[in-house]
Amino acid sequence: MIKAFILAGGKGARLRPLTLHTPKPIVPLANTPFLFFQIDHIKRAGITEIILSLSYQPRKIADIIGDGMKYGVVMRYTHEDLPRGTAGALKEAENLIDDTTIVLNGDVLTDTNLLDVIKYHKERHAEATIVMTRVINPAGYGLVEADAHGRVVRFTEKPAEDEIVGDTINAGIYVLERSILDRIKADSPQSFERDLFPAMIQGGANIHAYLAHGYWQDIGSPQKYLEATYGIISGRMKLPAYPQKACPPNHWEKRNVTIDAYSILDGGCVIKPNVAIENSVLGEDCRIEEGTLIKDSVIWSGTRILPNARIERAILGRQCHIGEGARLHPGAVLGDKSFVSDYSVI
């Protein structure tokens, strides 16, 4: 039976300060822990057994997901005290893997049809299939080159500018046969991207590439996290079916408040008069005082914003305090419990 394996052990360094207290797999995306998007994605392919590879703040993740039963899956966990790379993490779970496995990076938001990928993989009798997607700027990603038959001929992880020869990148989704575990060293760190795949290609292994055409966005940096948020609130990506939660009502005087149809507000928010919220997400129990503008931004739960503040294309962590008349310009990212004094500009 095919299982799914999610690489969720990274520290999310590029997403800091948001990930200082919240591991990247459960960072709230449209007020839903990100991992639920991946669980929902996997379930749609009929896969109900998921192995979650953890390392950084594992208890916080396990406490939310548990055994997975109430979300319709069986969740199993592996834990690395010392990171062993992406391939090493799969080797660590060797005793839980007995068949073809679909592997997903723990920071990819996509609606790629996994059933189509698996079918493609089986039809080509591949040992590994790498899902790739097209991007405008491939710098910073793994570049995948395939021949006319879809066989991978070159894999370059984070190429230099003069090495970029195409726009198809590694989408962070792989279908792997169990035989690949024999290629992974048990006693040293090893990654799919820098070690295993290049070595397999050089040795003539049957690795194929599947070009995905659906929605794809990683959430690995604040800017990309915002782009993923816009993908959801614009309707290009759907919210997962779980978790369902009963939210207390929000409170505002609707005749004096402008909240556009794209914005998402969790329960318990208090919105004072003459507030405008555009293309933004607010977590639960936020308090927005009069005269404030929030545009193209994400504000996590429990944050208070005093009168006449302006927040545009910014991300605020939990329980922040934004002073009266403060200005947060595009690119501002505040960690949990940040304090911005009155009339400050960030």
Please give the positions annotated as active site: 158
Domain boundary among 233, 263, 290: 233
Evaluate whether residue 241 is within a structural domain: no
pLDDT of residue 140: 66
Same domain for 135 and 40, yes or no, is yes
- Domain hosting residue 296, numbered range: 251-340
Q: Are 314 and 333 a contacting pair, CB within 8 Å?
A: yes
pLDDT of residue 100: 93
Same domain for 37 and 172, yes or no, is yes
Structural domain count, the chain: 2
How many residues are recorded in the chain? 346
The string of DSSP letters for 127-161 reads: SEEEEEEE-S--TTSEEEEE-TTSBEEEEEES--G
Q: What is the CATH number of the domain that holds 25?
A: 3.90.550.10
pTM summary value:
0.90
Same domain for 141 and 30, yes or no, is yes
CA proximity to 92, closest of 106, 104, 107, 81: 81
Same domain for 215 and 174, yes or no, is yes
Residue type, 196: L
For the chain, give percent helix, strand, coil, nearest 5.
Answer: 25, 30, 45
Evaluate whether residue 10 is within a structural domain: yes
Q: How far is CA 223 from CA 3, 105, 149, 235, 330, in A?
A: 32, 18, 35, 19, 10
Pairing of strands 287-288, 304-305: parallel
Instruction: Work out the number of other CB atoms within 10 angstroms of the CB of residue 307.
Output: 16
Q: Give dist(CA 94, CA 13) in Å, integer.
A: 27
Evaluate whether residue 168 is within a structural domain: yes
For residue 17, list its beta bridge partners. none
Q: Which two tokens stand for residue 64?
A: 């939310």
- Tens of pLDDT, residue by residue, the chain (346 residues): 899 999 988 777 888 999 899 988 899 999 999 999 999 999 999 999 999 998 888 888 888 888 888 888 999 999 877 778 888 889 888 899 999 999 999 889 999 999 999 999 999 999 999 998 887 776 667 777 778 888 888 777 665 666 666 677 888 999 999 999 999 888 788 888 888 888 888 888 899 999 998 899 989 899 999 999 999 999 899 888 877 776 677 787 666 888 888 899 998 899 999 999 999 999 999 999 999 999 999 999 999 999 999 999 999 999 999 999 999 999 999 999 999 999 999 9
